[in-house]
Amino acid sequence: MPRLPRPVFALVFLAAVVVSAPAHATLDAGTLLVAPTVNAGSADFVSASGGYLSAYDHGEVGFGGEAWYFLDDATAVAVAGTVGRFKETNTNAAGVDRWYTQHSFSARAGVDRVLQYRQDALFYFGPGVEFWRGHSTFEGFDPIAVTTPDVTRLSVSARFGGMMVIGDRWGLVGHLGWRAGYAKAEDAGMKTTWFPNGFEGGAGFVVALGR
């Protein structure tokens, strides 16, 4: 199965953040930023064969949200959640289809350092921890659909992002990050553990609430 490309769109977005429209960003203590986002990254799964669970990774696309609560004008607590999806359809010469699908969800918490560039752009970077869980399903490969055991992944991550301020209380946001962690899966006495890593990125629009 082909993998999704790494989220290059995040790099393009970050490069464009310095050509924003005139506006003014004021981020005092107590400010809350909320951002719906589209995300892309790597997902981890297992398949059963010969009495063992074998790990594999695959790209995924997700929809989620993120929030920053500012402790002062340069430090923010950041939390995020994402629901990940992927679907692949195979069709043979007779026109018979089979499907491969992925489902996952994740939650992340961290602390970001925020730097203001001019009056209309912000950069942020910081560490975090992430919880991720997901599974995949094969339909049409066998007489009955096969759903793989859930994989649980705990990771530490680091990221760099930017916000382009467009209006007094809204703008665009994007980031690129990397994670490394520990994953495990169990099923019917079989168990697999490993240490996955991968890149991830996301982009969306952001709204300022609070003060």
- Please give the pLDDT value at position 25: 54
Residue pLDDT tens, the chain, 211 long? 444 444 444 443 443 333 333 345 567 888 999 999 999 999 999 999 889 999 999 999 999 999 999 999 899 999 999 999 999 999 999 999 999 999 999 999 999 999 988 778 899 999 999 999 999 999 999 889 999 999 999 999 999 999 998 988 899 999 999 999 999 999 999 999 999 999 999 999 999 986 6
Residue 211's pLDDT is what?
Answer: 60
**How many angstroms separate the Cα of 120 from the Cα of each of 163, 164, 172?**
8, 6, 11
Helix (H) or strand (E) holding 12: helix 8-16
d(CA 82, CA 104): 8
The model scores a pTM over 0.95: no
Taking the mean position of all CA atoms in its chain, how far away is CA 71?
Answer: 24
Residue 166, CA distances (Å) to 74, 77, 87, 152 in order: 20, 23, 35, 39
Kindly list the structural domains of the chain, giving each domain's residue range(s) and its CATH number in brackets, ordered by start: 8-209 (2.40.160.20)
